Amino acid sequence: MTRLLLPLEHHHDSADLGEDALLVRLKKLPRRVQQVFLLNRLDQLSFAAIAQRLDIGAPTVERHMGQVLQAALPVRSASSTAAAQWYVRLQSPDITASERIDFRRWLDAAPEHLHAFHATELRWRNLLAPARQLGDGHWYRQAWAGVSLGGCSVALGLGLAAALAIGFWS
């Protein structure tokens, strides 16, 4: 994602979660959501490139990225939730000119909107270190990495089913 509003130098908000807490929250997200996030954050792939690589729709990529930002919210409020939604939407290749105008109107409507959007940008920056830990080993680059059944990979499940079927028919 590109820098939108914050200058390079910024102050940390005391309400933000620490890196360890962010990592815990990220690990609780579904595996496919983690994969989409890591492809974007670590490999810097666009939403369109992620959608193509994983053979999913761009709206699905957008929804997954929204889930990541919502999980990273230290405190949920209407403004922070809307700011996270706008932040993700602004990165989408499907955003229209009228949506950009709507965003600007939302941003200018109240001072807390601007503050919430800046906090969202800062939150995004603070997700880099936990993302590096979460993506250790580059597991997320595998096409099948986001598919799991209760933490057990589909490949392992299919292998077990095949072994049982062979044993049954022998």
- The string of pLDDT tens digits covering residues 84-120 is 999 999 999 899 999 999 999 999 999 999 999 999 9
48 assigned to some structural domain: yes
12 assigned to some structural domain: no
Angle between helices 97-109 and 78-91 (to 10 degrees): 150
159 assigned to some structural domain: no
Give the C-alpha separation, 140 to 40, whole Å: 11
Instruction: Say if CB 38 and CB 64 are below 8 A apart.
Output: no
* Domain coverage including residue 26: 19-142
55 assigned to some structural domain: yes
Q: What is the pLDDT of residues 29-64, one digit of tens each?
A: 999 999 999 999 999 999 999 999 999 999 999 999
Which residues lie across from 149 on neighbouring strands?
Answer: 152
107 assigned to some structural domain: yes
30 assigned to some structural domain: yes
What φ, ψ does residue 31 adopt, rounded to 5°?
-60, -40
13 assigned to some structural domain: no
| Number of structural domains the chain divides into | 1
53 assigned to some structural domain: yes
Two structure tokens written together for 97: 């000119």
